[in-house]
Amino acid sequence: MKWECPNCHVTLQAPTSEELSQKQERHSASCRRAPPHPQARRIEDIVPREILNGNLMTIEEVLGKDVLVTGFRFKESGFKEDSQYLSLEVKVGDEEGVINTGAQRIIPAFRQLSPADLPVLVTFEKITSKGGKRGYRIKPRTS
């Protein structure tokens, strides 16, 4: 007889149902994975649909490419206290996506924009400061 834990997907086997039941009890008492919450809702039921459109992309994936920014939002960071990050709705070629960044050389540029300025075309590049700190910035246009 077999049983699969619904939380961690461990499969237990025993020759009889009684022995399997004992193994289930022992396993359930020590299973480190919490059972799924019965009242949990799907994120799609809570978050507005337009926020979830497109693939999550990284700046690294679009380096050196023309990126059409069609929307942006500033959001409170969950990692740094009293800090914000930038969420960009973008189109790269035929692919639509979202890029989240805390890049300190990109955020100020978008603080100067208003929704009326959109869409805007940008190209991101990787930089290294004199102190060796790495980051990203909007690549300046060359004439």
Q: In terms of pTM, does the model score above 0.75? A: no
Strands (E), the chain: 2-4, 11-13, 55-57, 67-76, 84-92, 95-101, 120-122, 124-128, 134-138
* Confidence at residue 83, expressed as pLDDT on a 0 to 100 scale: 82
Secondary structure of residue 120 in the 3-state scheme = strand
Residue 52's pLDDT is: 47
Q: How far apart are CA 8 and CA 19, in angstroms?
A: 20
User: Which single residue is written with the structure tokens 């978008």?
Assistant: 110
With a cut of 80, say whether residue 138 has pLDDT above it: yes
CA dist., res. 23 & res. 27, Å (int): 6
Q: How far is CA 4 from the centre of its chain?
A: 30
pLDDT, average across residues 18-40: 72
Name the average pLDDT for the chain: 81
Task: Determine the 3-state secondary structure of 22 from DSSP.
Answer: helix
Please check the confidence at residue 94 and state whether its pLDDT lies above 80: yes
